[in-house]
Every structure is written in C-alpha cells, then in structure tokens.
Structure 1
Amino acid sequence: MSKVDSKCASAELDAARVAEYLRQHPDFLSNRPDLLTELEIPHATAAGVSSLVERQVARLRSEHRRYRQQLDRLSRNQRDLQALSRQVHQLVVAMLTAAQPDTVCDFLQDCLHDGYDADAARLFLFLDHNPFQNRPLIEVRGRNDKLRLLLAELFNRGQPLLDSLQAEHLPLMFDRAAAAEMHASVLLPITGHQWDGLLAIGSRERDRYRRGPELELLVFLARVTAIQLDRWLEN
C-alpha cells in the first residue's frame, strides 16, 4: 500500500471512529457549545436557494473569530504591561539607591529603549548652571531657553503631550537625522525644587504612545527621576 493510500485509509478510519463516538454520545455537542462555532453544518435547501441560517451561522462564526483575536491581543498586551511594570519598579529601586547620576541616566535610557521602544530620548534641564557635564541623555539649557518658552503651556498643564509636535519642532528635541525618522513622540514635563525639565521620547513606530497604564508608569518614572536630580542639585 502506498503512503497516499495509507493516509486515506487512516483518515477514513479516524472519521469512522469519530462518527461512532458521536452516536454513542449524542449530547457531546450540547456539552461543548464552543465547538459549534468551529463546525460547518450545512442546511438543506432547494437548488439555487440561499440558506439564511447558514449565512447567519457564517456571520456568527466570523464574529467569534474576531472576538477571539481581540481577546488574544488583550492577553498579550496584559502580559507586556506586567513585564513593563516589573521593569519600571526594578529600575526605580535601582535609581533610588544609585550613588551617581551617570548610573541613573544609564538605567533610565535602557528602560526607555527596551520598555518603550524609544529610538531617541533626551532629558532637558532648564538651569542657569550646568552641574551635569558630558552625560549623553541630559542636556542643560537656560531657564529662558526658546524651547522652554515654546512649551510654556505644557509646563502650565503639567500633563504629558503625545504626538502633537510639528515636523519643524522635532529637531529641537532630537538631532536632525533622528528627527526625520520619528513618527511618534511623547513629552513629559518634570518639576523639581526651583527648576523644571522635559523628558522627550521619540519612536519610529507610528501611534506607539497612547494614554493608559503604560503612560502612567512613564510619568511615575519621570517623577522618581526628578527626585533624584533634586538630590544631586542640592548637593
């Protein structure tokens, strides 16, 4: 017997077993209604007549698949959020015990890159002096810098700003090469004792940042960063 004949015989045998099992357990589908959305059960009609029942069943089956896909997506999002939450809280503990600002900047940059898919990030501090020399993430500007004046309303509101930057403003946040590739951005005002700052994050992925738990974790992270910066500035 060839392999093809062997497979056909095996399929017929399996089908016969399934049929016999259903005969012995006529309530099988009654106890498993979820299987009804997967099975195709034809509805006998006259030739050339479309079955309304079959059309309704097809529509319900399509909706079932769509809802199941949505549920799977929500489950994945929940797992991603839980992983991000653990990462942020571990980072906060590390930041609060860090002895040097370089360490905090490295932790923060890694979290923004890994947890928030940031392709570019910069922490602007508006100060009249610069105690943070040669730190890639931090850029110190004067209190009356044009960027600070441009975003005065953002500081007044004290809330994150998502995807509201115009193309000509992106180079103010990032270098020109990176700004040309940014399709999503979030700006977070941070406030310390007698100073303020701005955390700017950009991603090449469109619609990457949205309001919700993920953004709330980012706001929390920015606040902890401000606390640590306050401590070093006072020293």
Structure 2
Amino acid sequence: MNAADVARYLKENPDFLSDHGELFAELTVPHPHGGQAISLSERQLHALRDKIRLLEGKLAELIRFGEENDEIGGKVHRMSLELLAAEDYESLRSVLFESLRSDFSVPNVALRVWNSVLTRAGEDFSPVSESVRFFAGDLRHPYCGAPGNLEVLDWFGVVAPHVRSVALVPLRRDAQVFGLLALGSEEAERFYAEMGTLYLSRIGDLVAAALRRQLG
C-alpha cells in the first residue's frame, strides 16, 4: 500500500478517523512553521488559525475598499451638487475643473464640446478633428491609458509633453457624443487600461447633463 492508496482509502471511508479518534493524539506531523513534530489535532488548529488570518486579511481589504468607495462617492456627490448650483457655463466650468483638481487630485483637465446648440468663446469650443469625434463616438466606456492621440494631448497646453497617462470620458446627449472630458497625469500608472471606470462614467454623465442644461 502506498500513499495514494491510503489517501483513497480515507476518502472512501470518512468514518475511519472518527472511529479511531485516538490516532489524532498518537500520530504526529511536522510543525508547519518549524521542524518539531506535533499531533494531528495541533496541526489542524494551526491550519484553522492560518485560514482565520487569511479571512481577516480579506475582510480588512474589503473594508478598505468600501471606505475608499464611500470617499469617492462623497466627492462625486459634492461635485453633482456644485454642478447643479452653477448658474452659467463659466461657473459650471470653474466648478468642474476645481473639483477634479482639488477633490480628485487630477492636475491636468481639458474639455472639448461640439454639436451644441449654444457655443461660447474659448478653447473648450475649439474645432475638433473628425478622427477625434469618431474616436469619442466609438467609446462605450472611458478610455484609460497612454496618451496615444497627439491632438488630445495638445489640449493640455504647455504641460502636454509631461503627460504620461490620460482618462478620456465621452459626454453624451442620448446616444450621441457631443464632447470629451480629458484628464491627464504625469504618472504613467495613474490611468491604466485595466482600472475600473464606474466613477469616471458617472462623472461623465453628470458633466454631460450639466452641459446640456447650459448649452442645449
């Protein structure tokens, strides 16, 4: 009989150990964190403690994620209230940019709007190429990653050469994209392809709704 035969026998006869409980005290196995021998019951206790520590670590991680989400949710809520209170486009733009920079620590923000009923003077309404419009129109979720589009990169002005990652958030009127909110960072890992975009999408929805109210 080899080890595989013993393991198979125990699986096929689950009552064996309960019928021979004295084995737990008589048989010994190596300590999981040392060289000395311990009983099977002690080994089981160590295994349970290891599982408890693992579960405690996962619980702490879940609590941390929950607290982070609560904090982000609070910032998005505060932004939405300020956008609702904005009485004109200039106030709306100021609130948006200040919130993204102060609350969300995004150092570089740019906005482009097209196909709106009303327009304003300024860079936000500068002409946008057809390729950028097609790119924005094809987005189903915010784009996060390297700043591959040089035209969008230029929107950040003098800091453009230092931007290493971007988040591009489409702004929609029903199914049609009418603008793009661009966030830029000098850190290559700030916005990356695998990151979650739930809150970016919600911010895009809020900004789009506020812009439609001001611009039609």
Count how many residue pairs are aligned between Structure 1 and Structure 2. 175
Deviation at 1:71, TM superposition (A): 5.3
Match among 135, 159, 164 for residue 153 of structure 1: 135
Match among 112, 120, 123 for residue 108 of structure 2: 120
Deviation at 1:67, TM superposition (A): 7.5
1:232 aligns with 2:214: yes
8 Å contact 2:146–2:188 — kept in the other structure? no
What amino acid sits opposite 1:102 in the alignment?
A: E
How far, CA to CA, are the matches of 1:164 and 1:152 in structure 2?
18
RMSD of aligned Cα (Å): 3.7
State, as a whole percentage, how many aligned pairs show the same letter.
18
How far, CA to CA, are the matches of 1:230 and 1:220 in structure 2?
15
What does 1:179-198 correspond to in 2, within 5 Å? Answer: 179-192=160-173, 196-198=178-180
Which consecutive unaligned segments of at least 5 residues does structure 2 have? 1-31, 38-42
What amino acid sits opposite 2:125 in the alignment?
A: V
Deviation at 1:66, TM superposition (A): 8.0
Which consecutive unaligned segments of at least 5 residues does structure 1 have? 1-39, 46-53
TM-score by length of 1: 0.58
Query: What secondary structure, in the 3-state scheme, does the structure 1 residue paired with 2:183 have?
Result: strand
1:104 aligns with 2:85: no
Matching residue of 2:124: 139
Deviation at 1:186, TM superposition (A): 0.8
What amino acid sits opposite 1:121 in the alignment?
A: V
Query: What secondary structure, in the 3-state scheme, does the structure 1 residue paired with 2:106 have?
Result: coil
Deviation at 1:130, TM superposition (A): 7.1
What amino acid sits opposite 1:139 in the alignment?
A: D
Matching residue of 2:76: 88
What amino acid sits opposite 1:233 in the alignment?
A: L
8 Å contact 1:128–1:141 — kept in the other structure? no
Query: What secondary structure, in the 3-state scheme, does the structure 2 residue paired with 1:139 have?
Result: helix
How far, CA to CA, are the matches of 1:74 and 1:175 in structure 2?
40
Deviation at 1:85, TM superposition (A): 0.3
How far, CA to CA, are the matches of 1:229 and 1:163 in structure 2?
26
How far, CA to CA, are the matches of 1:216 and 1:111 in structure 2?
18
8 Å contact 1:160–1:187 — kept in the other structure? yes
